[in-house]
Amino acid sequence: MIEELAISTKGKNAFIDVTSEVEKAVTGLRVKSGVCIIFVPHTTAALTINENADSSVRSDIINALKNVVPDSGGYLHAEGNSPAHVKASLFGNSLTIPVENGSLRLGTWQGIYLCEFDGPRTRKIIIKVLNG
């Protein structure tokens, strides 16, 4: 009861809607009631749930994060992607969502987003569903 997806990201910072991919995986795993866990095995990407209607919300979040963790700021790590590492830890690399009647129990305005902070790249998402 595990599924792995590959997602291509565009741009340095981007939020990619993966709601339908996760829904499809959950349906395929055929768990009627339980919990869905989504996990990214990366350290400069994250996962979040946020507004699925107006895309300007995602732009506002990306811009707000740039103010919280500036692109340049005397970082020690030589690869230059320290801000991406900080953002990844602030947002977190997993989500936990209840499953009811075989589908995700998301709110009306909730979408699931893969947060790319050091793209463009191909990222993995691991989806696991537990019965219960």
**Region of 5-13, 19-27, 68-76 interacting with a second copy (CB under 8 A):** 68-76
**Region of 5-13, 16-24, 44-52 interacting with a second copy (CB under 8 A):** 44-52
State the nearest-atom distance from the C-beta of 79 to a second copy, in Å.
8
Binding of residue 6 to a second copy (CB under 8 A)? no
The residue assigned the tokens 């699931």 is: 112
Interacting positions 71-130 with a second copy (CB under 8 A)? 73-79, 82-83, 85-86, 88-98, 100, 105-110, 124, 126, 128-130
| Sole binder of a second copy in the list 6, 56, 72, 122 (CB under 8 A) | 56
Q: How many residues bind a second copy (CB under 8 A)?
A: 63
The residue assigned the tokens 């998301």 is: 106
Nearest CA among 11, 5, 2 for reference residue 116: 11
Cβ count within 10 A of residue 34: 18
**Which CB atom, from 4 or from 10, has the smaller least distance to a second copy?**
4
Provide the binding-site residues for a second copy, judged by CB under 8 A. Answer: 1-2, 33-35, 37, 39-43, 48-51, 54, 56-57, 59-61, 63-65, 67-69, 73-79, 82-83, 85-86, 88-98, 100, 105-110, 124, 126, 128-132
